[in-house]
């Protein structure tokens, strides 16, 4: 037998001995716990159960307090995040307000006033675009979409039902979320 085979055989035997020792130790622990349970009096068992109950109640109360603290912190963070978003948006609108004030001072010069109002309009639209808010305007004759359109019903016998007749006000959306639906004129359905 080669030297290598002898070492492998010896290490396998040592592993078997180690494993069998572990099994014996585990079996002894189980045996000891079973015999110690049998030796306990009913009063000792009751005391042990009461102690376990107290620990479980304490754990429950700690968990409940942790949950309440988590809810409170989350709510506070939500409020702070919303306030930061509003503050940021208002800061982006302030230049338009400044331009409004300058335009109002120039009401005697119509050309400058009109130019100022156009500049304000451009500022507001670019601010909305920076915040990924875009306007949309349905086309006349387009199918009515209750998610995007707010109908203003009119009586018109010649108009086709379920179609946009005119656009009263543009709509605004951010991604797929409608911020304000477009106001559209539609034919009032016949009452039956």
Residue 30 CB contacts under 8 Å (≥ 6 apart), including other chains: none
Tell me the three state secondary structure of residue 100. helix
Question: What pairing do the DSSP bridges indicate for beta strands 171-174 and 133-136?
Answer: antiparallel
Whether 130 shows a pLDDT value over 60: the answer reads: yes
Averaged confidence pLDDT in the chain: 83
What's the pLDDT score for residue 75?
96
Q: What's the pLDDT band for 164 if we cut at 50, 70, 90?
A: confident
- Full set of structural domains in the chain with CATH: 134-192 (2.30.22.10)
| H or E segment to which residue 146 belongs | none
> Of 98-107, 121-130, 166-175, where does mean pLDDT reach its minimum?
98-107
Structure tokens at 124: 């507001």
Answering whether pTM is above 0.75, one says: no
Closest CA to 103 of 127, 82, 121: 121
Residue 134 CB contacts under 8 Å (≥ 6 apart), including other chains: 128, 172, 173, 174
Q: How many residues does the chain have?
A: 192
Average pLDDT over residues 49-67: 92
- Contact status, residue 127 vs residue 96, Cβ threshold 8 Å: yes
Structure tokens at 96: 């338009």
Interval 27-36: pLDDT, tens: 777 777 666 5
What's the pLDDT score for residue 8?
56
State how far the Cα of 186 lies from the Cα of 184, in Å rounded to an integer: 6
What's the pLDDT score for residue 1?
53
Residue 138 CB contacts under 8 Å (≥ 6 apart), including other chains: 145, 148, 149, 164, 167, 171, 182, 184
Whether 4 shows a pLDDT value over 70: the answer reads: no
What's the pLDDT score for residue 29?
75
Q: Can you tell me which residue has the tokens 């070492």?
A: 7
Interval 62-111: pLDDT, tens: 999 999 999 999 999 999 999 998 898 889 888 888 888 888 887 788 88
């Amino acid at each position: 037998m080669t030297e290598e085979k002898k070492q492998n055989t010896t290490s396998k035997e040592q592993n078997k001995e180690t494993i069998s020792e572990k099994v014996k130790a585990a079996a002894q622990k189980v045996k000891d716990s079973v015999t110690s349970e049998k030796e306990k009096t009913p009063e000792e068992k009751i005391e042990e159960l009461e102690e376990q109950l107290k620990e479980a109640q304490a754990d429950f109360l700690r968990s409940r307090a942790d949950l309440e603290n988590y809810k409170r912190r989350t709510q506070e963070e939500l409020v702070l995040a919303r306030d930061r978003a509003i503050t940021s948006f208002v800061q982006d609108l302030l230049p338009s307000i400044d331009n409004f004030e300058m335009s109002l001072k120039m009401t005697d010069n119509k050309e400058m006033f009109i130019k100022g109002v156009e500049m304000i309009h451009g500022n507001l639209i670019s601010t909305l675009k920076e915040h990924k808010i875009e306007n949309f305007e349905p086309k006349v004759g387009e199918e009515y979409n209750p998610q995007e359109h707010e109908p203003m019903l009119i009586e018109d016998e010649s108009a086709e039902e379920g179609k946009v007749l005119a656009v009263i006000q543009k709509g605004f959306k951010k991604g797929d979320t409608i911020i304000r639906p477009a106001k559209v004129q539609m034919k009032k359905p016949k009452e039956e």
